[in-house]
A and B are shown apart, each in its own frame.
Chain A
Amino acid sequence: MAFLVSHPDEVRVISKRFGQGATDIDRYLQLDGYKAVRKAFTMKPDDLINEVKNSALRGRGGAGFSTGMKWSFVPKQSAKPKYVLCNGDESEPGTCKDRLIFEHDPHAVIEGVMIAALAVESHHGYIYIRGEYRYLSVIMQKAIRDAYAKGFLGKNIFGSGYDLDIYWHGGAGAYEVGEESALMESLEGKRGIPRIRPPFPAVVGLWGGPTVINNAETLAAVPPIILGGSDWYAKLGTPKNGGTRLFCLAGNLNKPGVYELPMGYNLKKMIYEVGGGIPNGRSLKAVVPGGSSTPVMLPEEIDVAMDFDAVAKAGSQLGSGGVTVLDDAACIVKFALRTMKFYRHESCGWCIPCREGTDWLEKTLIRFHSGGGVEKDIDNMYYLAENMLGKTFCPLGDAAAMPTMAFVKKFRKEFEDHLHGKPCPFEKAGAAERQPVLA
């Protein structure tokens, strides 16, 4: 199981019960568990939505959309049942945070789903967990059973007259299913291909009913917001970027791990202080700040506040919270190739620009990295990626295109160094050191 780390700069809101035995429902209750949902029962749905809006909580899955706004799009009246769907299909490379939430605090996710259900007046929730996370599904299934046994779920919950069912659902290996419309397809027992929007899930979602879909971390942040108040939560972060988030520090770092830091925490500090800097006397070459789909950043670009707006202004994206650090022994062409291999593998094949684009890019990168590249490949790769952008039903095409364009643009020299049959200049230097620090 994943081990926990700590740093004095951490602000523990979502991770406050990590390592405290809170998978046990009685322990969770001792640690303020299910207090927020009791409070939510005393509030009107619109007040709940406004509270979450004012907290400046933004989607932790990667898109960073206002959670309260998302909830407000659900129609008040609906002939079809409304649904709340928790996205726990965590699979963006570099991201391993939801795993810790499910492992240590499953009831926080359940409570978040409950509050979201009250806010949009839904009586049905689903918690979707990726198939690889079987041990977490076991934990979540037990947590749900325990909540039913206490009368927190089912008919007339907390004696309120309100009925609410929450169920576990499991995947079977597919990155694409993390995209909200593909997630619904998968839950309906189909291949996880995206749906065309509009209509958006808030209006036409699961089985045609209005559906709120939030990331597991987003939902886990809801109970503390309701208990502590939106002002408190908003002030933990930066303007329009409320609260804290779990940052997954990975790659060439002395102290990788998942740390909960305030939104807007400086990226440079995150790498050198929280993450302990670069091992083996190496220096920093690049950072992928928010999962493999986000554009790479250069060392001179990392003096930036890690919130959605500041990172966007710096030309990248905050994304999923997966901060992957590359030292100067890493080969960017190889890294770009591995990134593209992933997107080619995960492309569902529904949209041609993504299906063909990822395949062509991977093939070009394989040839290029092995020394068979020609000069015009460099511009061709950029051009191919550019032509995928915005031309697919779901963001997987963009997720493959954006990093590729950044690699080519920011590391053109390194691509050129691979030309004319030259062996990869990094292959030898890196191999000897590619051993984990925490062995």
Chain B
Amino acid sequence: MRFSAEFETRFAEMVTHYPTRRSALVPSLLYAQDEVGSLTDEVIAELALRLELTELEVRNVISYYSMLTTKPRGKYNVQVCTNIACMLVGGEELLDHCKKKLGIGHKGTTPDGLFSLEEVECIGGCSWAPAIQVNYDFHENLTNPKMDQVLEEYRKKGTQ
């Protein structure tokens, strides 16, 4: 299977950084997932081959890390933190608002494939709570109206 040129350059460099090839596994899985959308059987087979691992060894690692997924997510994965600092200032209410607004629950995806929703653990936005990430972008000090704006911006971006 083929990855982007950017992935290949990064991968080729990364494997030179460690005394064992498998050390490149976790970051490679995440970069591959970002390109392909999820860790498909094909991606798993390819990385296993390249890093001299069995597919089972790769799957074992995938199942441990919460960001890694074998199931496709929406184009924009909305990750709402409800851990302690966010909870104290409305993180749970924000999650409920997103559920209503998007019409999906935890780990659900909208029928048009644009949004996924996930309740996540602490993302390091505690002093700017409540905080969310959409894919890798942080949005902080949110209120329900601000959340609506954020979703609207992604909707525009995603349907252009």
Contacts and interface: CB of A to CB of B under 8 A. Distances in A.
A424 interface: no
B111 interface: no
Contacts of A98: 124
Interface in B122-146: 122-130, 133, 136-138, 140-143, 146
B122 A91 contact: yes
B102 interface: no
Contacts of B24: 189
A435 interface: yes
Interface in B72-101: 82-85, 87-90, 92-93
A435 B87 CA distance: 10
Contact of A170 (B27, B66, B87, B92): B27
A190 B61 contact: yes
A133 B85 contact: no
A49 interface: no
Contacts of B127: 2, 96, 248-250, 256-258
Nearest to B79: A132
Contacts of B129: 250-251, 256, 436
B20 A324 contact: no
Interface stretch (A341-349, A352-360, A381-389): A341-349
A342 B83 contact: yes
A172 B147 CA distance: 25
Contacts of B83: 93, 292, 338, 342
Interface in A155-170: 165, 167, 169-170
Interface residues of B, number: 50
Contacts of A342: 83-84, 121-122
B88 A174 contact: no
Contacts of A325: 88
Contacts of A324: 84-85, 88, 126
A253 B111 CA distance: 40
B25 interface: yes
A2 B138 contact: yes
B51 A91 contact: no
Contact of A338 (B30, B53, B84, B138): B84
Given A1-B138, A2-B128, A171-B26, A326 B88 contact: yes
Interface string A237-270: 0000000000011111000111000000000000
B89 A434 contact: yes
A436 B130 contact: yes
Given A189-B24, A207-B20, A339-B84, A172 B30 contact: yes
A131 B20 contact: no
B149 interface: no
Contacts of A3: 128
A173 B126 contact: no
Most buried by B among A334, A339, A348, A434: A434
Contact of B65 (A165, A174, A338, A436): A174
B68 interface: yes
Given A191-B60, A191-B64, A93 B126 contact: yes
A2 B125 CA distance: 8
A339 B42 CA distance: 38
B17 A91 contact: no
Nearest to A172: B65
B88 A251 contact: yes
A134 interface: yes
Contact of B125 (A96, A173, A439): A96
Nearest to B29: A172
A152 interface: no
Contacts of A189: 20, 22-26, 51, 53, 61
Given A91-B121, A189-B23, A250-B129, 11 more contacts: A2-B140, A93-B121, A96-B126, A132-B67, A135-B138, A172-B26, A173-B66, A190-B25, A256-B127, A327-B88, A436-B143
The 7 closest A-B CB pairs, nearest first, are A173-B67, A189-B25, A189-B22, A173-B66, A172-B65, A134-B136, A250-B126
Interface of A: 1-3, 81, 90-96, 98-99, 130-135, 165, 167, 169-175, 186-192, 207, 248-252, 256-258, 288, 292, 322, 324-327, 330, 334-335, 338-339, 342, 345-346, 348, 431, 434-439
28 contacts: A1-B138, A2-B140, A81-B19, A93-B85, A96-B126, A132-B124, A135-B137, A165-B17, A169-B23, A170-B27, A171-B26, A172-B66, A173-B67, A175-B121, A189-B24, A192-B64, A250-B85, A250-B88, A251-B84, A251-B85, A257-B127, A326-B88, A334-B87, A338-B84, A434-B88, A434-B93, A436-B130, A436-B141
